[in-house]
Amino acid sequence: MLPEGFQHPSWPSKTMMAVWRLLVLCLVPAICDFQDHHGEVREWLVPSQELPLKTRGRYVVGKSGRRVLLACVNWYGASQRQMVMNGLDNQPASVMASRIVELKFNCIRLPFSLEMVLDNMSVPRPEEMLAANPELLGLSPMEVFDKTVTALTNVGLLVILNNHVSSAVWCCSGNDGEGLWHTERYPEQEWLRGLRLVARRYSKNPRVVGFDLRNEIRANGAILPTWGSGDVFTDWSIAAIKGAKEVLKEQQDLLIVVSGIHFGMRLSEVPNRPIHEEVPELHNRTVYTTHFYYGWSFDMMAYDRISKNIIILMFFACWLWVLLALDRESKNFRSFQAAPSSQEANFPWELRAAAAVLALQALLFAIGEYLGQSCGHVHIVSPPAFVVLSSWCFCISYVIWTRILVAYTLVLFTNFRNKDVQWRYSRPRDLPDDTLQMPVPALTIPRFTLAMCASESLVQPLRERKRFYATAALLLLLLLVVVGQKCGSYNNFRGELDACLGPLLSGEGVTPAPVWLSEFGTDVRDNYFNNIMRYIKENELDFAYWSINGEKRLNESETYGLLQDDNFAVRHPWKLEMLHDVMRRSWQKDVITQITQFQTSVATTAWSRTQRQQGRKDVRGEVTGVVLPVLAALAGWLAIMYGIQHSLISVPFLTGNQYEYFPIIATFVAGYAVIVLEEQTEINKARPRKAMPAMLTATSILTLVTHSVHGSQRQRKRLQNLQRKGKRKTQGQRALPRCVVFDLDGCLWSPEMYELSWDRGGAPFNYDAEGLMRDRRGCVISLHSGVEKALNELATDKKWKGVSVAVASCCDVPPWAFELLGKFEIGPSKMKMNELIAISQIHKGSKQGHLREIQSVVGCNFEDMIFFDNEPGNCQNVAGLGVTCIYCPDGVTSRVWSTGIEVRPCQKTYRWWFCQGRLVDFE
């Protein structure tokens, strides 16, 4: 800065100041363009020199021609009745922006409504909605939106605006009146005017790089949208061209994002009218966008239906097999009931109903599978319809088979089929004893009920054709397993998406264009999310996860959100890790090489055919390698139980009638035990479930045996590798950790925040004239003796370059902790603590949870982390992860810092299920 009153000998001061400001504006972005706390460029952010963006072939590129991956998240709220972004009630906009950068995203999709743009609206309940942003009180919704955009672009994020709805409501459904781009309240001209006003408003901000014209074009009641039909009322391609031209009049460098029809899914009709080819203004400007959620995938929902019911079906099959195996009587029986007709005797109505329900389910599946692989409009309706109808069919089947098998059990193991026994249990209690002198029963059961439950005519077809029904049950289970594997396979999932996106990705019949998956999300780690992430990776798609929000509405959690309700802590670390894996593979690749590879792949369709053939081989391999051994093991188990029941196999501890009942009890006990063991195994492994989870009890047995054999081999190799690494490290220099984590209260500073609240102290905090940090009541907050040395070394010593610094605290008042981190100064350069600390996990919860979230962001192993804490319970808790824990009851002192680093690398004891980290005691 120039001294006040400075005068150049020949230039006027105003001219000099203008030149100085110009130099600052030009040079500062070039020198300090989005650097992290160590001065290293954050490679995931797009530098200003690459703007504006454009498209080339299938990719978005910068000025240099290099690929720019749009790794985005959705941040919504302004398009709803609250009129502002979710999260501004508990986090400042600048903190939210910085948090998004910390999570390694480079752009934001911001939805807005026409209502907030065109009407004179105010923020409802501003004191609640903007509680963490008091400087925004009194502003209109659009002015709050302006401040939000500015906060995001100031930290280097790209912004893509999205006209989500016309009226400010939650989106989306088929009857909300918002399906088309025009509504009764906001006709097409108002929609175009709104687009123009928003584009003009941000035309001077170069980091607002794209405009999503409309969200999820879909049916509006009975009116279906079209593409290329020529109908100005329903043809979205005509309206998209109009909207794009209005936006480009105000800012000609924006990317134009065009949604597919039918909830944004269907881009397969773009070849009917490829507007990115036909309209000159849209050349190298058009990005097509699609959405894909779990509820829109027929195969994923069919897979889950089968997975959830396979155990129940297995139970009924085992029940039937046991009854057939134990039924040793002849097939000629004499019934006490009236003789049924020949047709009913051969095939009772219960069996006919069970066959009809099975046929109906097969028909529903065939229809849904066809629609799922064809990307038609009805495809959106087929998955939920299939779930509802198949659920009813399964329930009906369970009722019918319960009726049949209960009757079979009563006929086989009781005398209820005897007329005298039925008469005894069905006669009224007040009648005198008959000539048989039978006692009055304690329980009276209607004779009709007994006759229905113990109906020999119902079970007679099963007893006469044992092999047929046993084989039919086996084949049905085998069919369900094969179909379930096929539905849950990645090949089917890819087929669904290829049907909707294929032409733009493959270049069949149309010039390729970028496809942006701008909405997808989940709250569970399932096959859907694994498959969608694999599809993004294989096809190198730009994406925007739904969503960053911790809240759906005020005081209502967003379960799909990346952040928790406090809009800071990570909700699902595994989800963030999978997104980072995609981003690491695609950060600014050279698009020239990619286009060459793409053109080579377009020249022939043999590749796709090979993939389909390979998919079929995979399914056959799964049947041969998994299903057949499982069924063989199951058949072996049943054979052993049959041999025991018929005294063909001698068991020393069984006598007399115990041989008959032992197989039944053993089968159910063993099945239950294996299921419990498998669930515990999955929990211990802590990884996503494989295809057909908890499919068969015999599968569980084989899984446990396989893990035992191969696991021991892997364990030996792992120990050998560790020993070799340990020898190399002892011969050379000690390895430094990749991440250093500190607790706050009692570890870095004293007193703790809850102690300040007791004295009615706390924020604001400021340095006094003596250089002491004091709160509003004058209480001194001081750093421990070794903190400044440790942090200064981490910031300046070259050996620590590339090592991440984090804090993990269960502080009672997180905003006070954040303020102190932003005001404490370290070292001669007076660097703020928050400039050094890259990751902050300051919220209630377990320390294991904090360390897991930090580990997922850093991307290192727990063994490469070191943790300082003044609470022994926290250290013992975190040591279970394999982290080296330094217990420092007096906080971080110089001795604690120097000696704690010297003990690295720590010696660890590896066990079968876990590894325990080193706990160093400095008490």
Position 340, amino acid: P
CA–CA dist 464, 330 (Å, integer):
8
The tokens describing 346, both together, are 């051969």
The tokens describing 779, both together, are 């209480």
- Which of 25-29, 83-87, 316-320, 889-893 comes out lowest in average pLDDT? 25-29
Q: Which of residues 788 and 4 earns the better pLDDT score?
A: 788
pLDDT at residue 8 is higher than 60: no
DSSP state of 41: B
CB 908 within 8 A of CB 882: yes
Q: For residue range 513-556, what is the model confidence (pLDDT) as tens digits?
A: 999 999 999 988 888 899 999 999 988 899 999 989 888 887 78
pLDDT of the residue at 121: 87
CB 108 within 8 A of CB 597: no
pLDDT at residue 562 is higher than 60: yes
- Which of 261-265, 280-284, 414-418, 898-902 comes out lowest in average pLDDT? 414-418
Q: Which of residues 112 and 400 earns the better pLDDT score?
A: 112
pLDDT of the residue at 707: 40
pLDDT of the residue at 709: 38
pLDDT at residue 610 is higher than 70: no
CA–CA dist 848, 917 (Å, integer):
13
* Main-chain dihedrals φ then ψ at residue 910, nearest 5 degrees: -90, 130
CB 775 within 8 A of CB 756: yes
pLDDT of the residue at 93: 93
Q: Which of residues 172 and 332 earns the better pLDDT score?
A: 172
Position 916, amino acid: Q
pLDDT of the residue at 734: 52
- Which of 20-29, 402-411, 498-507, 612-621 comes out lowest in average pLDDT? 20-29
What string of DSSP letters covers 808-851? EE--S-HHHHHHHHHH-EETTTTEEHHHH--EEEESSS-HHHHH
pLDDT of the residue at 655: 64
CA 150 to chain centre: 29
CA–CA dist 717, 721 (Å, integer):
6
Non-local (6+) Cβ contacts of 661 within 8 A are none
**Helix or strand holding residue 161 (H, E):** strand 158-165
pLDDT of the residue at 603: 37
pLDDT at residue 29 is higher than 50: no
Q: For residue range 146-169, what is the model confidence (pLDDT) as tens digits?
A: 999 999 999 999 999 999 999 988
Q: For residue range 407-427, what is the model confidence (pLDDT) as tens digits?
A: 888 777 765 554 444 444 444
Q: For residue range 463-517, what is the model confidence (pLDDT) as tens digits?
A: 778 888 888 888 888 888 888 777 778 888 888 888 888 788 877 778 889 999 9
pLDDT of the residue at 239: 95
Q: Is the dihedral of CA 709, 711, 714, 720 positive or negative?
A: negative
Q: What pLDDT band is residue 16 in, cutting at 50, 70 and 90?
A: very low
Three-state SS sequence of 179-237: CCCCCCCCCHHHHHHHHHHHHHHCCCCCCEEEEECCCCCCCECCECCECCCCCCCCEHH
pLDDT of the residue at 642: 74
Helix or strand or coil: residue 807? strand
- Which of 219-228, 650-659, 756-765, 789-798 comes out lowest in average pLDDT? 650-659
CA–CA dist 212, 171 (Å, integer):
15
- Which of 256-270, 613-627, 793-807 comes out lowest in average pLDDT? 613-627
Helix or strand or coil: residue 556? strand
Mean pLDDT of 169-198: 89
CA–CA dist 577, 792 (Å, integer):
30
**Helix or strand holding residue 112 (H, E):** strand 107-113
pLDDT of the residue at 414: 67
What string of DSSP letters covers 254-275? PEEEEEBBTTBTB-TTGGGS-H
How confident is the prediction for the chain on average, in pLDDT? 76
Q: For residue range 30-84, what is the model confidence (pLDDT) as tens digits?
A: 434 445 444 445 778 999 999 999 999 899 999 988 999 999 999 999 999 999 9
Non-local (6+) Cβ contacts of 686 within 8 A are none
pLDDT at residue 454 is higher than 60: no
Mean pLDDT of 19-32: 40
pLDDT of the residue at 797: 86
pLDDT of the residue at 714: 45
3-state DSSP helix/strand/coil percent for the chain, to nearest 5? 50, 10, 35
Q: Which of residues 790 and 694 earns the better pLDDT score?
A: 790
Q: For residue range 664-709, what is the model confidence (pLDDT) as tens digits?
A: 777 766 666 665 555 444 434 433 333 333 333 343 333 333 343 3
* Whole-angstrom Cα Rg for the chain: 35
CB 405 within 8 A of CB 458: no
The number of residues making up the chain comes to 923
**Helix or strand holding residue 17 (H, E):** helix 13-31
CA–CA dist 285, 157 (Å, integer):
20
pLDDT of the residue at 329: 57
pLDDT at residue 368 is higher than 80: no
CA–CA dist 249, 199 (Å, integer):
9
CB 856 within 8 A of CB 849: no
Helix or strand or coil: residue 916? strand
CB 325 within 8 A of CB 637: no
CB 814 within 8 A of CB 567: no
Which pTM value belongs to this model? Answer: 0.59
Position 8, amino acid: H
Taking the CB of residue 3, how many other CB atoms lie within 10 A of it? Answer: 6
CA–CA dist 95, 44 (Å, integer):
19
CB 433 within 8 A of CB 480: no
Position 499, amino acid: A
pLDDT at residue 14 is higher than 80: no
pLDDT of the residue at 778: 86
- Which of 360-369, 723-732, 818-827, 879-888 comes out lowest in average pLDDT? 723-732
pLDDT at residue 106 is higher than 60: yes
pLDDT of the residue at 625: 52
Q: Cα–Cα distances in Å, from 371 out to 114, 144, 167, 772, 911?
A: 35, 44, 33, 70, 50
- Which of 26-30, 76-80, 613-617, 890-894 comes out lowest in average pLDDT? 26-30
Helix or strand or coil: residue 854? helix
pLDDT at residue 10 is higher than 80: no
pLDDT of the residue at 223: 85
* Main-chain dihedrals φ then ψ at residue 406, nearest 5 degrees: -65, -45
CB 746 within 8 A of CB 871: yes
Q: Cα–Cα distances in Å, from 901 out to 416, 501, 785, 839, 848?
A: 79, 53, 16, 20, 21
CB 178 within 8 A of CB 114: no
pLDDT of the residue at 253: 92
Which residues, in sequence order, are bridge partners of residue 109?
74, 160
Query: Which of 144, 163, 171 minimizes the C-alpha distance to 88?
Result: 144
pLDDT of the residue at 399: 87
Mean pLDDT of 365-374: 72
pLDDT at residue 192 is higher than 90: yes
Q: Which of residues 208 and 410 earns the better pLDDT score?
A: 208
Mean pLDDT of 419-439: 44
